[in-house]
Amino acid sequence: MTEQKYKLLIDNYLNKGSSVEKFTNAFFQQWKHDRDNEIVHDSKFQRLIDRLFTSCDCYSENLQRPIEISETELRNEVGLLSHIWWG
């Protein structure tokens, strides 16, 4: 199940098993796989994935624009979304 793949990626990142670069790269790979294979998620889970996508897309190591977020902000967002979905 794809949801479990996302959970594993998120848990690994939150437990500092992977770097921010590895997490964002793995997340985008999974997201592209789902998109390209037309995997349909529950609408609520899809909103979570969409928000994670936006957060990962806004992450930047060198903040230069107001829309960019730091690794700390990304980690906090990922943690919040994980808590909301999986408790």
| pLDDT digits 0-9 by tens, 38-72 | 999 999 999 999 999 999 999 999 999 999 999 99
Domain count, the chain: 1
- Asked whether residue 1 carries a pLDDT value surpassing 70, the answer given is no
**Residue range of the domain that includes 78:** 42-86
Q: What tokens does 46 get?
A: 């899809």
| Domain-located, residue 31 | no
How many Å apart are CA 86 and CA 15, to the nearest integer?
Answer: 15
Whether the CB-CB separation of 10 and 78 falls below 8 Å is answered with yes
Query: Of 13, 33, 30, which Cα lies nearest the Cα of 22?
Result: 13
| Domain-located, residue 62 | yes
Q: What tokens does 66 get?
A: 């107001």
How many Å apart are CA 26 and CA 24, to the nearest integer?
Answer: 6
Q: What is the pTM of this model?
A: 0.93
| Domain-located, residue 53 | yes
Strands (E), 1-87: none
